[in-house]
A and B are shown apart, each in its own frame.
Chain A
Amino acid sequence: DVKVTQSSRYLVKRTGEKVFLECVQDMDHENMFWYRQDPGLGLRLIYFSYDVKMKEKGDIPEGYSVSREKKERFSLILESASTNQTSMYLCASSPTGPADTQYFGPGTRLTVL
């Protein structure tokens, strides 16, 4: 069974703090993704990565950065958290191309005060 884990289920941070969200997958998948999920907006892609040290912007990259130093780990970084980044963050991985199933972690609910 593919397992995607995220470092925290719930996180509360203050405006201006630097926030790290970690994601680890155990199936040697090439691709990893970060989404944010908001009511009425569905899932929106923030960043994705096809390989170690490679990253591509998704649809809403502003205010975020990512890091992929090892194949199994994909980190999302909020350089200076703001209240409008309060959201559910979902990490996913997939073997290779767009036809592949994406496997999701349980999500991190981030609240920025």
Chain B
Amino acid sequence: AQSVTQLDSQVPVFEEAPVELRCNYSSSVSVYLFWYVQYPNQGLQLLLKYLSGSTLVKGINGFDAEFNKSQTSFHLRKPSVHISDTAEYFCAVTYTDKLIFGTGTRLQVFP
């Protein structure tokens, strides 16, 4: 079965610093990969997704992610974070006809 690991449950960072949120998945077969964000008291919304093609995927709000097949990773990055990026971030991977979510990483941006 597919699994998704988000190693960091919390990432504190100062405003304007770069950030990387890590995601690893278990499958050796072709998969689709997603990052979703959940702002306080809201549902999830899509940040970006990898389906095929270029391994660097650009998303909304200045985020991007690099698909690394050999390391089965899909880490999310932003070169300079804002206070408004404070949220919970979920990595997800397809498994048959379902999405499997990681346990989430809470990004806390401090002024």
Contact = CB atoms under 8 A, between A and B. Distances in A.
Interface string A29-57: 00000010000111111001000000000
Interface of A: 4, 35, 40-45, 48, 58, 90, 92, 97-99, 101-107
B110 interface: no
A102 B45 CA distance: 8
A102 B99 contact: yes
Contacts of A105: 43
A43 B90 CA distance: 9
B46 to A, nearest CB: 5
B13 to A, nearest CB: 21
Contacts of B45: 103-104
Contact of B49 (A44, A97, A101): A101
A11 to B, nearest CB: 15
A42 B6 CA distance: 10
Contacts of B43: 4, 90, 92, 104-107
A42 B103 contact: yes
Given A103-B45, A104-B44, 20 more contacts: A4-B43, A40-B103, A42-B90, A42-B103, A43-B44, A43-B90, A48-B98, A92-B44, A98-B32, A98-B97, A98-B99, A99-B94, A101-B34, A101-B46, A101-B49, A102-B44, A104-B43, A105-B43, A106-B42, A107-B42
A42 B92 CA distance: 10
Given A42-B90, A106-B43, A98 B96 contact: yes
A43 B101 contact: yes
Contacts of A90: 43-44
B9 interface: yes
Contacts of B97: 97-98
Contacts of A42: 6, 90, 101-104
A58 to B, nearest CB: 7
Nearest to B32: A99
B27 to A, nearest CB: 13
